[in-house]
Structure 1
Amino acid sequence: MELSSKIMKALLLWISFFQVLFIVSTVSGERSDTRLLLTRNAVSRGRHSEEYCAMYDICGAREDGKVLNCPFGSPSVKPDDLLSQKIQSLCPTITGNVCCSEAQFDTLRSQVQQAIPFLVGCPACLRNFLNLFCELTCSPHQSTFINVTTTAKVKGNLTVSGIDFYASDAFGEGLYESCKDVKFGTMNTRALNFIGAGAQNFTEWYAFIGRRAPA
C-alpha cells in the first residue's frame, strides 16, 4: 500500500495543473478520429482555430517544482527535425506543426514514464493513454479543445494555473474500455487502482486526471 500511495501522489503532481470541465460532445458533425481528443471547443474564450495553440512553452514552476505552461495563444510552431523526430517517437499522431516547445515535450516524456509500467501489458491501452497527453501537450490544434481558464504570476511571469479541456464520449469511453481490465504486474490488481483511483467509468477517470494537487 505504501508503494501505491507514493505512485498515486506522483501522478497527481504530474497532472496537477489540469482543472477539468469534462464536456461530452453530442454533435456528430463535430466528431473526429476516436484516437484523438475530439470535440471542438464550444466556448468563445480567446482564439480557437486549427493550427493555433492555447498555451506554449514553460514560464515558471510551482513551489514543488512542477512546471507551468505559458498562457500564450499563438500559431502552432514548426519544430526542427530533431524535435520532430523526438515527438514522433512518443506521439506518432502528432505531425507537422506543434504546440509544444522542446522543454514541454521533454517534461511530457519524463512524466509519462511514471505511468508506462502500469499499462505496458496492454499496447492498445498504453497507446490511447499516451495519445491523450500527447494531444493535450503538443497538438497543433490545441486551441480547439483547450481553454485556459485561470492564470497566475510566478516570479513575474504569467503562467497557466487552470484549464478546461474538451473530449468526446467516444474518446473517453474508448480510452477507459481499453484500460479498465489491465492488470499491474504480479500484484494482479487493476492498473486503474493506481493511475485512476479505481475509476469505474471514463468520467470518474477524467475527474481523477483533472484533480488539482496541493502545491
Structure 2
Amino acid sequence: MAESCGKFLQRFLPVLGCVLLINLVNHIPLASAEGQCIWYGVCTNKTDFKQRYCPYNGPAKPIDEGGRTILEKYCPDIAAGGLTCCNADQLRILEKNIANAGMLLRCPTCMENFLKHICGMTCAPDQSNFLKPVKIEPYPGGAESRQIITEIDYHLGATYMNTTYTSCSQVQMPSTNQVVMDIMCGSYGSTFCTPQRWFDFMGDAEVPLVPFQINYKSGDEPSDGFIPYNPETHPCNVGSKGQPGCSCFDCAASCPAPPTPPPPPRPFSIHGAIRLQMSSTQIMS
C-alpha cells in the first residue's frame, strides 16, 4: 500500500506543482502589464523656483478639468484617453516649460516630436512602465509632512530620441546666427551634440530650468523590468495631419533637389587632333 501511495505521489505532485505555478504567475502584478502613476500633484510651494511633484503610486485619475485645455492643446493623445497622472498645477508648469523651448516652434514637426516625451513623462497614465523614482526626499519648505521626487530614471526609446533629435538639429536661430542645438546642448554646442547628449543636458538638474534630475536611459528593448516610452515621430519634412513640413531653412530634407548637372563636354580624341593638324597644314600649303 505504501509503495502504491509513493508512486501516486511521484506522478501527481509534478502536475500539482505546475498548476500552482501557473496560477501564481497569473496573479503576480507586473508593472509592464498595466502601468500606473509615479506622481500626482505639486508638493512644493508656488514661490519655489523649482517645482517638484508628489509621489503617488496608484492608478491614473480622470483629467483635472482645471487643466483640460492645456492637456488637449499640447498632449492630445493622452487627453483622448481620459486618464492622467498629472493635475492642473502640473499642467500649468508643463505649459510654462514648453514656452522655454519656444525656439523650436520654427519647425512645427520638431516641436510636436519634442513635446511627446514631455507629455509622456508628466501625464501618461502608465508612467511606471518607463519611469522610476530614484530619489524621494522630505520637502523642507512646509510645516506639514510631505515628500517630493527629486530624481527619476526615464526609459526612453532610442528610436524616439534619434528621430526627434534629427528633426530638430537644423532649426535655426536667425537672431544669433546659430542653430538651436548651440543653446540646447550645453557645452557641446551643435558641433559635438548627439541625441544622448541633448537629452542628458535637458535632464541635468544643475541647469536652472530643469526642476529635478532626469536620467535618460536610451534603448528600444525592455530593460530592468521597464518598457521604453517610444511614441511615434515624423521627419522634419513631413507635417502631421496634412500640414506641411518644416521650411528648407530649418530642414534640409524640405529643400528641392538640385537640378541635374549637364553632361561634361566631349573631349577631343587623339585621332581628331591629328586630323585637325593635317587640315591646317593643307590650308597653309
Among candidates 125, 128, 134, match of residue 143 of structure 1: 128
Determine if the alignment matches structure 1 residue 113 to structure 2 residue 99. Answer: yes
SS at match of 1:149: strand
1:166: Cα distance to partner? 0.5
Matched-pair contact (CA < 8 Å) for 1:53–1:76: yes
**Structure 2: how far apart are the matches of 1:110 and 1:93?**
20
1:145: Cα distance to partner? 0.8
**Structure 2: how far apart are the matches of 1:202 and 1:53?**
27
Distance 1:49 1:113, change over 3 A: farther
SS at match of 1:127: helix
**Structure 2: how far apart are the matches of 1:211 and 1:70?**
20
Distance 1:49 1:147, change over 3 A: farther
Unaligned residue ranges in structure 2 (runs of 5+)? 1-29, 209-285
The residue aligned with 1:164 is 153
The residue aligned with 1:128 is 113
SS at match of 2:122: helix
Matched-pair contact (CA < 8 Å) for 1:70–1:159: yes
Distance 1:80 1:103, change over 3 A: closer
1:99: Cα distance to partner? 0.8
Give TM-score scaled by structure 1 length: 0.72
The residue aligned with 1:36 is none
1:205: Cα distance to partner? 0.6
**Structure 1: how far apart are the matches of 2:76 and 2:198?**
24
1:168: Cα distance to partner? 1.3
Among candidates 101, 105, 111, match of residue 87 of structure 2: 101
Distance 1:61 1:68, change over 3 A: farther
Further displaced range: 60-69 or 82-91: 60-69
1:71: Cα distance to partner? 1.3
Q: Which residue identity lines up with residue 171 of structure 2 in the other structure?
A: V
Determine if the alignment matches structure 1 residue 153 to structure 2 residue 138. Answer: yes
Matched-pair contact (CA < 8 Å) for 2:64–2:87: no
**Structure 2: how far apart are the matches of 1:126 and 1:194?**
16
Q: Which residue identity lines up with residue 138 of structure 2 in the other structure?
A: K
Q: Which residue identity lines up with residue 207 of structure 1 in the other structure?
A: D
Matched-pair contact (CA < 8 Å) for 1:54–1:71: yes
Unaligned residue ranges in structure 1 (runs of 5+)? 1-45
Matched-pair contact (CA < 8 Å) for 2:105–2:111: yes
Q: Superposition RMSD on alpha carbons, in Å?
A: 2.3
Residues 33-90 of structure 1 show CA distances to partners (whole Å, capped at 9, x for unaligned) of: xxxxxxxxxxxxx956535111111112599521110111110011155533330111
Alignment of 1:41-52 (within 5 A): 50-52=34-36
Distance 1:49 1:142, change over 3 A: farther
Q: Aligned pairs, how many?
A: 169
Distance 1:61 1:174, change over 3 A: farther
Residues 172-199 of structure 1 show CA distances to partners (whole Å, capped at 9, x for unaligned) of: 0011000011111332211111122225
Matched-pair contact (CA < 8 Å) for 1:62–1:68: no
**Structure 1: how far apart are the matches of 2:135 and 2:94?**
21
Further displaced range: 79-88 or 186-195: 79-88
SS at match of 1:161: strand
SS at match of 1:106: helix
**Structure 1: how far apart are the matches of 2:48 and 2:207?**
9
Distance 1:214 1:92, change over 3 A: closer
Distance 1:188 1:167, change over 3 A: same
Among candidates 180, 204, 209, match of residue 211 of structure 1: 204
The residue aligned with 2:194 is 201
Q: Which has the larger radius of gyration?
A: 2
The residue aligned with 1:181 is 170
Matched-pair contact (CA < 8 Å) for 1:53–1:99: yes
Percentage of identical aligned residues: 26
